[in-house]
Chains A and B, each alone.
Chain A
Amino acid sequence: MGLKIEINNIPLEVEKGTTILQAARKVGINIPTLCYLEGLQNPGSCRVCVVEVEGANALQPACVTEVNEGMKIRTNNKRVRNARKIILELLLSSHPWECNTCDRNQSCELQTLAEEYGIREVRFQSTQEKLPLDESTPGIVRDPNKCILCRRCVAVCQEIQKVGTLGPRYRGFHTVISPGQVDLLGDAVCVQCGQCAAVCPVGAISERDDTEKVWEALEDPQKYVIVQTAPAIRAALGECFNLPPGTLVKGRMVAALRRLGFDKVFDTNFGADLTIVEEGHELLSRLKKKLVDEDKTVKLPMFTSCSPGWINYMENFYPELRDNVSTCKSPQQMFGAVAKTYFADEIGIRKEDMVVVSIMPCTAKKFECNRPEMVDSGVQDVDYVLTTRELGKMIKQAGLDFVNLPEEEMDAPLGISTGAADIFANTGGVMEAALRTVYEIVTGKELPFEKLHVTPVQGLEGVKEAELTIKETLPDWKFLEGVTLKVAVAHGLGNANKIVESILKGEREYHFIEIMACPGGCIGGGGQPRLTTDEVRKARIQAIYKEDEGRKLRKSHENPALKELYNEFLGQPLGEKSHQLLHTHYFDKKNKKEKEKVKV
């Protein structure tokens, strides 16, 4: 039975358990929040959401107060406004006034509220000492001075990602959010997923800004600068220019990149198609060795390896699974290695003169490209990684009217790709792309699902499973006849943890598992436009599937540029050249000596 309440004299009926905040949003009334994070935490500690409830002495925090029958609520009167103003004033009193030089200028939630509430004066002065910047990691920069102690980053790090790097230290005025006992992220175990940066309401946690290095490369006449864009960018970049989430801007993105001065505009999708072909063959090779040769050294289930946050997590927390993870490099790193060998040779450019820039939805990719082993072309394979947000800033700096740019096409050959590569952007996508190829290799027939979609592994449920029985195999794959392939998909490292634990305890058995470190997959990455809610995730995922379905080619092995690459350069999947350029190995980072050796 519903509860009848009134908000600002508007009568409405809501279900029991609804908070004042949720009820108000139903009737289009926005109540400001700072510490609140949808579906995750509502500690009620910042108090900026206070409202007046008739009959209650004190103002009530809307994010944690559930409505009662007959409750009369005022969200906007003098008392409420004054309370919010003082709260904002107090928050601002210990916050540095560096808005003009802050990464979050005009995208800061505190700044927005200060503007909305007309704060013109702050009567209180800070007694806090200035704390040093934390620039100890390649992906993430923390400025503890700007922190408002809302603990959103702690909630995602501890509860969603289950990494537990960040936590509060000390109490009261002395409280700081820090990586455990140390001051620097680089001295703690941090997987660089950047989910903390994605939820920070202010400029306390951001990605490392690499835009200046990219501008420099673009202006260097000696350098041949190419760019690759991850599949998740095309469904999110528009948000940097106030387009609604889920607007596909691939054509305009290409036009913008060309106008920024990149010599070639390529696609990480090419690397994704390449990954599927290599990884698909790797899976089949593992299955054959296990089922036919009974080789006990071969490990199953095989985990995907595209997500650098997951790789960091695995190396630091579950290094015993190193041999279970596909040896395939991520699409970004495959692209880099191929660009600086095959493509550089083809156009007659020295690899030392080529600069590979990646646009990624991810902060961990900044870490990945700097891993000391990612130099198989002879030089660093990928030079710079920019997040979606950084690209948005570069486009604005260049003075481009992004929204009205024409639609342009990616360059050949490394810009050619299939729909299977598009869906690498979201949870379940790599699995679906792999199954489209693997099933066809084994049976010679298309994956027998409507529109080629593996529906059980789609959507935002944390852990998803599917089974696929292989029938009517081609002669080479007779050993798979009647075999039921068991697969699983997890997104968010907390969910990855659940799968890994269930496997280690022997509760579950699978052949193939896809893991993406961020909730929703790359479309919800740490480098995407803020703020990524589930609604935004769904809109971006929908856009990606639409892009996939609109393609003529939707299976990685059908990519014509890829066929040419194998014919002219690589030979065959898992061949010697592939092994050298496209595959990698992992480290036991629980082992301090080994970790030190490969420190980025």
Chain B
Amino acid sequence: MKVREIVKKYKGKRENLLQILHEIQDLDAQNYISQENIFILSEIMNIPVSDITGTASFYSMFSFQPRGKYIIRVCASPPCHIMGAETIFEAISKELKINKGETTSDGLFTLEETSCLGICAVAPAIMINDTVYGYLTAERIKEIIAQIREEEGK
């Protein structure tokens, strides 16, 4: 009953729904909000399923599909775009053999786009889970991915 504990931590208040959803998503090894958890949350917080879905689906940080352990978010805002974000995206896509929104077959990585990460000074930038990386090049991407693979023993 982990969902119940999360709700309790936020005193069951509706205004904390986004934080609650984040914790539910982080709790899942596959980095997503399962339908089952939405139903449980709806029951506990007495908020209709449609309302929770509406709230969560509004934000791109939430997913209803199982995702990889590492979520790579490539900034798609103008400053990064000018600095070559497209090349970075392609480099990742090629290295991992996945397209936008897809997950690698080993369940390690998911590739997504994001709006501005707020670190335009170091564009082009990406975010992998909670860590940001700037001044990226295709070579640097390979290194970062290799490092994560090594840490994960894959």
User: Within 8 Å CB of B47, what residues of A?
Assistant: 164
Determine if A180 and B49 form an interchain contact, defined as CB atoms under 8 angstroms apart. yes
B52 CB to nearest chain A CB (Å):
8
Determine if B53 and A167 form an interchain contact, defined as CB atoms under 8 angstroms apart. yes
Determine if A178 and B58 form an interchain contact, defined as CB atoms under 8 angstroms apart. no
Q: Given that A168-B54, A181-B64 are contacting pairs, would A163 and B48 also be in contact in the complex, using a CB cutoff of 8 Å? A: yes
In the bound assembly, the distance between CA atoms of A179 and B54 in angstroms comes to 10
A97 CB to nearest chain B CB (Å):
29
In the bound assembly, the distance between CA atoms of A171 and B48 in angstroms comes to 18
A229 CB to nearest chain B CB (Å):
34
Residues facing A in B30-71 (CB within 8 A) are: 35, 38, 47-54, 57-58, 64
CB-defined interface of A141-185 with B at 8 Å, one 1/0 digit per residue?
A: 000000000000010011000011111111100000011110000
The 4 nearest A-B residue pairs measured at CB: A164-B48, A167-B50, A180-B49, A180-B50
Closest residue of chain A to B49, judged by CB?
Answer: A180
Determine if A164 and B54 form an interchain contact, defined as CB atoms under 8 angstroms apart. no
Please report whether the interface of chain A is mostly helix, strand, loop or mixed according to DSSP: loop
User: Within 8 Å CB of B54, what residues of A?
Assistant: 167-169
Determine if A165 and B50 form an interchain contact, defined as CB atoms under 8 angstroms apart. yes
User: Within 8 Å CB of B52, what residues of A?
Assistant: 180
In the bound assembly, the distance between CA atoms of A165 and B53 in angstroms comes to 11
In the bound assembly, the distance between CA atoms of A163 and B49 in angstroms comes to 10
Range, interface on chain B: 10 to 19
User: Within 8 Å CB of A164, what residues of B?
Assistant: 47-51
User: Within 8 Å CB of A178, what residues of B?
Assistant: 50, 53
B60 CB to nearest chain A CB (Å):
9
State how many residues of chain A have any CB contact under 8 Å with chain B: 17
User: Within 8 Å CB of A181, what residues of B?
Assistant: 35, 38, 49, 53, 64
Closest residue of chain B to A172, judged by CB?
Answer: B58
In the bound assembly, the distance between CA atoms of A94 and B35 in angstroms comes to 30
A224 CB to nearest chain B CB (Å):
44
Determine if A158 and B48 form an interchain contact, defined as CB atoms under 8 angstroms apart. yes
Question: Total contacts A to B, CB within 8 angstroms?
Answer: 44
B84 CB to nearest chain A CB (Å):
27
Check: A99 CB closer than 8 A to any chain B CB.
no
Q: Given that A181-B38, A181-B64 are contacting pairs, would A170 and B48 also be in contact in the complex, using a CB cutoff of 8 Å? A: no
Say which residue of B35, B48, B53 sits within 8 Å of A169 (CB atoms).
Answer: B53
B114 CB to nearest chain A CB (Å):
15
Check: A188 CB closer than 8 A to any chain B CB.
yes
User: Within 8 Å CB of B57, what residues of A?
Assistant: 169-171
B25 CB to nearest chain A CB (Å):
15
CB-defined interface of A181-198 with B at 8 Å, one 1/0 digit per residue?
A: 100000010000000000
User: Within 8 Å CB of B48, what residues of A?
Assistant: 158, 163-165, 167, 180
Q: List 23 A-B contacts (CB under 8 A).
A: A154-B50, A157-B50, A158-B48, A164-B47, A166-B50, A167-B48, A167-B50, A167-B51, A167-B53, A167-B54, A169-B54, A169-B57, A170-B57, A170-B58, A171-B58, A178-B50, A178-B53, A180-B38, A180-B52, A180-B53, A181-B49, A181-B64, A188-B49
Residues facing A in B74-132 (CB within 8 A) are: none
A365 CB to nearest chain B CB (Å):
24
B21 CB to nearest chain A CB (Å):
13
Determine if A158 and B58 form an interchain contact, defined as CB atoms under 8 angstroms apart. no
Closest residue of chain A to B47, judged by CB?
Answer: A164
Closest residue of chain A to B59, judged by CB?
Answer: A171
Closest residue of chain B to A163, judged by CB?
Answer: B48
Closest residue of chain B to A179, judged by CB?
Answer: B50
Determine if A158 and B51 form an interchain contact, defined as CB atoms under 8 angstroms apart. yes
User: Within 8 Å CB of A166, what residues of B?
Assistant: 50
In the bound assembly, the distance between CA atoms of A157 and B38 in angstroms comes to 19
User: Within 8 Å CB of A179, what residues of B?
Assistant: 50
Residue of B48, B49, B51, B53 contacting most chain A CB atoms (<10 Å): B48
Closest residue of chain A to B48, judged by CB?
Answer: A164
Beyond A164-B49, A171-B57, 11 additional contacts (C-beta under 8 Å) are A164-B50, A164-B51, A167-B50, A167-B51, A169-B50, A169-B53, A169-B54, A170-B58, A180-B53, A181-B53, A181-B64
Closest residue of chain A to B52, judged by CB?
Answer: A180
Residue of A163, A167, A170 contacting most chain B CB atoms (<10 Å): A167
User: Within 8 Å CB of B38, what residues of A?
Assistant: 180-181
Closest residue of chain A to B54, judged by CB?
Answer: A167
Closest residue of chain A to B58, judged by CB?
Answer: A171
User: Within 8 Å CB of A157, what residues of B?
Assistant: 50
A77 CB to nearest chain B CB (Å):
37
User: Within 8 Å CB of B58, what residues of A?
Assistant: 170-171
B35 CB to nearest chain A CB (Å):
6
User: Within 8 Å CB of A168, what residues of B?
Assistant: 54
In the bound assembly, the distance between CA atoms of A168 and B38 in angstroms comes to 16
B14 CB to nearest chain A CB (Å):
13
In the bound assembly, the distance between CA atoms of A424 and B99 in angstroms comes to 60
A176 CB to nearest chain B CB (Å):
10
B139 CB to nearest chain A CB (Å):
36
In the bound assembly, the distance between CA atoms of A154 and B48 in angstroms comes to 11
In the bound assembly, the distance between CA atoms of A171 and B115 in angstroms comes to 14
User: Within 8 Å CB of B49, what residues of A?
Assistant: 164, 180-181, 188
B50 CB to nearest chain A CB (Å):
3
In the bound assembly, the distance between CA atoms of A163 and B46 in angstroms comes to 11
